[in-house]
Structure 1
Amino acid sequence: MNDLPPGLLFALIGLLIIISAFFSSSETSMMALNRYRLRHQARTGHRGAKRAMELLARPDKLIGVILIGNNIVNILASVIAGAVFTRLYGEAGVWYATAALTLVVLIFAEVTPKTIAALHPEKIAFPASVILRPLLWLLTPLVRLVGSVSNGLARLVGVEAGKESEAEHLAPEELRSVVFESGALLPTKHKGMLLNVLDLDQATVEDIMIPRNEVKGVDLDDSAQEILQQLAESSFTRLPVYRGDINKIVGILHLRRAAQLLRDGPERLTAESLKTHLIEPYFVPEATPLPTLLMNFQKRKHRMGLVVDEYGEVMGIVTLEDLLEEIVGDFTASPVPSDDEEIVEQGDGWYLVDGGTSIREINRTLHWGLPTDGPKTFNGLIMEHLESIPEGNISLYIQEYLIEIVEVSDKMITSARVKKER
């Protein structure tokens, strides 16, 4: 080495610094790759993504070959630099070489290439994989030796190399954060739908059902004229049919079948003839999670379920439309035009809310956070906090929400005003 000209040695040091920069940038870019985007690109046939996935399948081997190569070139560069500076400056040259090479390696072989690789991982990792894959095969014996020692040390602290990391899978909360941070990549409406799908597991049938007191059905004990008038005025496609009490369900009537029955004349409408056109009822426990209900609706080809409690009492009904609105929001117009809206804005942040309105509907409409882990209706929430039916118009706070009771009946709070103060 002492016989080689200094210019050639400096050129060799420069080449080694470039190689070191390659290894440093390769390591950072490979580790910075978005694994989910990488899988998508590999499935679409991207060659660079496929090579990168093969290398990342065993990160211990990948890191091993990169660090082996990086350390070899750095040590070789330091040896050559020491020899050159010693020849030029004598014994002090060792210190000059150390200081100069440290500065050069930090700037040109570490900080700069790693910064670029972190900002543009795919542009660095995919081309680098062309070199790293054959290099891994070439250095396999050395990589295995180093890997076996390092894996043994890792096992001492409870880490199993090659085992799939939990970080490879997203928890629902993490997936929700990914959707939130997607920015302009997802339209706002699509983002809301994805978040609603993730929130389905947090709700049950009881949260979205139409309560029993609001259910419209056909009582077979009524006269034929009363049943006919009810069918003519109904704004619903399907109606539960019962005898005397809704707990005595006979079946579900589709108005299309009723129309077929009436085609031959109203006199054909009798309780017995109506029973022949009924669909078998589908009963749903009130604690059924919404994803389970959706799968059951799809499997059984149902669009309506009768919600029952643990004692078998009918609590209300749930429809496919109610379930879909939990995902896509309100997409159906009110079947009967009415001025009796459940939530009415009154200005200055106040809203007049019907007591029977579900808390989930209030939260969804006003983007609020009223507690949903207890009562399901606005009336129930107020009653739980008061622990009695109020005798007059009083005010109360529930978290940061100021509530003023407007109207009270013998059994429930009919309406109240509410305002979010903070």
Structure 2
Amino acid sequence: MMSLNRYRLKHLVKQNHRGARKASKLLDQPDRLIGVILIGNNFVNILASAIATVIAVRLWGDAGIVIATAALTIVILIFAEVSPKTVAALYPEKIAFPAAYILTPLLTLTYPLVWIVNSITNGLLKLFGLSPDGNSNHHLSTEELRTLVHEAGALLPKRKQSMLLGVLELNDVTVDDIMIPKNDIQGINLDLELDQILDRLSTTNHTRLPVYNGDINKVVGILHMRNLAQLIQQGKVTKASILQVIREPYFIPESTPLQTQLLNFQKESRRIGLVVDEYGDVLGIATLEDILEEIVGELSTEHREENSDIHAQEDGSYFIEASVYIRDINKSLSWDLPTDGPKTLNGLIIETLESIPDANVCLNINGYRIETLQMTDNLIKTARIIELDRPNKP
């Protein structure tokens, strides 16, 4: 009874399984269940001991007491304790559900005796400062649930495991971990000529674009390509008409957990937001698609292949664009580059060196050898990384 999986038991109860319902009802009051089981168990054992002793004394005299004690101890230990309890522990449902049909009427019949025994026992527990109710909390914490998903093994397909773990990790990841950085934002700069704006609109592969004056920090709204299509049909594509169909910008604090932001997107009926720091400066863009990809993985295989920034080499190393997020590298290669500091590979290298390198350098970070290959201005463009053999790696 005690070896039953409580969560599977609850599921079977919801499925209206009769044996599960009876077992669950008995487990709702474990002190009474244990009471009736132990009363019956000890009554049978003591009765058997008394009968065996009487028989042995009649057969062998006083020596029969020792013989009966030794023989009965072996018999009870093997056939009444270890063997049946091992079987019950291995197959709890097969034993517990039928047993529930017997224990339920037994509990009713012996209830007065069970109540007396439990009252005395609970009174003794209180003398030692223990609560008879104990800790009956069977709820799982997030970490415990994460372990449960990991341990599901073949019972849960790898894809579903990944999705469940992604949901559990939403509260541990913030929007600045998954945002498109400021330098990579594609938007409409109203300071450009109309022809340049139209050219940008005709080549973009996004459905929503920020509209700004000169600088992304001067954003005035978000343009949906559906609204632009209406302007094109009407032949009224001008800067003024674009300003009339844009929607006011939506700003997101950089430290917002993804779980919270997912709910905020739903509440505000938004799909895109500008991530800002404590001073109100735009750091990047976060979209609903970015959050969903944390759960289900890359939504577009074609897009992922075309924009891959990680290139495997024959010697086991990888050529990686330094602008890639460290979390994406770890997720793609099952690595554990440090993520508690800079978000990108470029930032990690610069922080480790504590300066911007003047030439290509080689360094070791957390068991990974990193060599810079290309540099432009004050940024590292490409790096070569190889995982070193680490004796303490699990």
TM-score, normalising length from structure 1? 0.89
1:417 paired with 2:374, answer no
Alignment-mate amino acid for residue 224 of structure 2? H
Equivalent in the alignment of 2:332: 365
Summarize the alignment of residues 66-85 of structure 1 with structure 2, pairs less than 5 Å apart. Answer: 66-85=37-56
- Say whether the 8 Å CA contact 1:236–1:335 is kept in structure 2: no
Per-residue CA deviations over 1:76-118 (Å, capped at 9, x if unaligned) read 1111111111122222222221111111101110011011101
C-alpha spacing 1:420/1:183, structure 2 compared with 1 (3 Å)? same
C-alpha spacing 1:354/1:231, structure 2 compared with 1 (3 Å)? same
1:385 paired with 2:352, answer yes
Equivalent in the alignment of 1:320: 288
Alignment-mate amino acid for residue 243 of structure 1? N
- Say whether the 8 Å CA contact 2:252–2:275 is kept in structure 1: yes
- Say whether the 8 Å CA contact 1:235–1:335 is kept in structure 2: no
Equivalent in the alignment of 1:194: 164
Structure 1: tracts of 5 or more residues without a match: 1-29
Report the CA distance between 1:415 and its aligned residue: 1.3
- Say whether the 8 Å CA contact 1:219–1:227 is kept in structure 2: yes
Equivalent in the alignment of 1:310: 278
Report the CA distance between 1:163 and its aligned residue: 4.7
Report the CA distance between 1:155 and its aligned residue: 3.3
Alignment-mate amino acid for residue 243 of structure 2? K
- Say whether the 8 Å CA contact 2:325–2:343 is kept in structure 1: yes
Equivalent in the alignment of 1:292: 260
Report the CA distance between 1:335 and its aligned residue: 5.3
Per-residue CA deviations over 1:358-391 (Å, capped at 9, x if unaligned) read 0011011111111111100000011111000011
Aligned CA-pair RMSD: 1.6
Decide which structure has the larger Cα Rg and report it.
1
Equivalent in the alignment of 2:392: none
Matched residue of 1:104: which SS? helix
- Say whether the 8 Å CA contact 2:310–2:319 is kept in structure 1: yes
Equivalent in the alignment of 1:86: 57
Alignment-mate amino acid for residue 233 of structure 1? T
- Say whether the 8 Å CA contact 2:12–2:20 is kept in structure 1: yes
Per-residue CA deviations over 1:169-215 (Å, capped at 9, x if unaligned) read 22222222211221211111111111222222221000000000100
Report the CA distance between 1:165 and its aligned residue: 2.6
2:222 to 243, 252, 255: 252
Summarize the alignment of residues 118-137 of structure 1 with structure 2, pairs less than 5 Å apart. Answer: 118-137=89-108
Higher mean C-alpha displacement, 67-76 vs 193-202 = 193-202
Equivalent in the alignment of 1:217: 187
Equivalent in the alignment of 1:376: 343
C-alpha spacing 1:164/1:298, structure 2 compared with 1 (3 Å)? farther
- Say whether the 8 Å CA contact 1:58–1:162 is kept in structure 2: no
Partner Cα distance (1:157, 1:402) in 2: 59
C-alpha spacing 1:191/1:301, structure 2 compared with 1 (3 Å)? same
Equivalent in the alignment of 1:180: 150
C-alpha spacing 1:94/1:390, structure 2 compared with 1 (3 Å)? same
Partner Cα distance (1:141, 1:162) in 2: 20
Structure 1 runs (4+) greater than 6 angstroms displaced: none
Report the CA distance between 1:417 and its aligned residue: 0.5
TM-score, normalising length from structure 2? 0.95
Partner Cα distance (2:387, 2:127) in 1: 55
Report the CA distance between 1:147 and its aligned residue: 1.4
Per-residue CA deviations over 1:40-61 (Å, capped at 9, x if unaligned) read 0101111111111111112111
Report the CA distance between 1:341 and its aligned residue: 3.7
Report the CA distance between 1:236 and its aligned residue: 0.7
Summarize the alignment of residues 340-359 of structure 1 with structure 2, pairs less than 5 Å apart. Answer: 341-359=308-326
Report the CA distance between 1:157 and its aligned residue: 4.4
Report the CA distance between 1:334 and its aligned residue: 5.5
Alignment-mate amino acid for residue 323 of structure 1? I
Matched residue of 1:404: which SS? strand
Report the CA distance between 1:409 and its aligned residue: 2.5
C-alpha spacing 1:261/1:318, structure 2 compared with 1 (3 Å)? same
C-alpha spacing 1:98/1:125, structure 2 compared with 1 (3 Å)? same
Matched residue of 1:235: which SS? coil
Partner Cα distance (1:309, 1:142) in 2: 68
Partner Cα distance (1:155, 1:398) in 2: 56
- Say whether the 8 Å CA contact 1:218–1:227 is kept in structure 2: yes
Alignment-mate amino acid for residue 83 of structure 1? V
Matched residue of 2:234: which SS? coil
Report the CA distance between 1:149 and its aligned residue: 2.4
C-alpha spacing 1:80/1:341, structure 2 compared with 1 (3 Å)? closer
Structure 2: tracts of 5 or more residues without a match: 390-394
Matched residue of 1:373: which SS? coil
Partner Cα distance (1:157, 1:378) in 2: 58
1:161 to 122, 127, 132: 132
